[in-house]
Amino acid sequence: MSSKKEKIQSIIDVFAKKHGKCCAGCDHWRWHNSLVGDCIQTVPVSGSERLTFVGMSSISAPVAAGHIVTPRDHCCGQYVDTDQVN
C-alpha cells in the first residue's frame, strides 16, 4: 500500500475508533478520501443520484453510475464490522 493510502486509511481508522458505529468503520464502505466513500451494500444508482447524499446536486463533470457516496460519519441499518472486538 502506498504511503498516501496508508495515511488516509490511518485517518479513517482513528475516526472510526473514536466515533464508534459509522460508515468509516463499516465493511461495506470503500473510501474515496478521508471524508467520503461508496457504500457497496447499496444497489447502483444513476450518476445524478450518487452524490446527493453528501449534499451535491450538480457538478460540472459527469458522474458515472455506481454506489451511493456517503460521509464517513453516517451510519445506516446495514452496518457491519467483522473486525470489531466484542
Mean pLDDT across the chain, nearest whole number? 90
Percent of the chain with pLDDT over 90: 67
Do residues 23 and 73 touch, judged by C-beta distance below 8 A? Answer: yes
Residue 85, pLDDT > 60, answer no
Q: What's the pLDDT at 86?
A: 45
What pLDDT band is residue 1 in, cutting at 50, 70 and 90? low
pTM of the model: 0.83
What is the maximal distance between C-alpha atoms in the chain?
45
Per-residue pLDDT tens digits for 39-66 = 999 899 998 889 888 888 777 778 899 9
d(CA 30, CA 86): 23
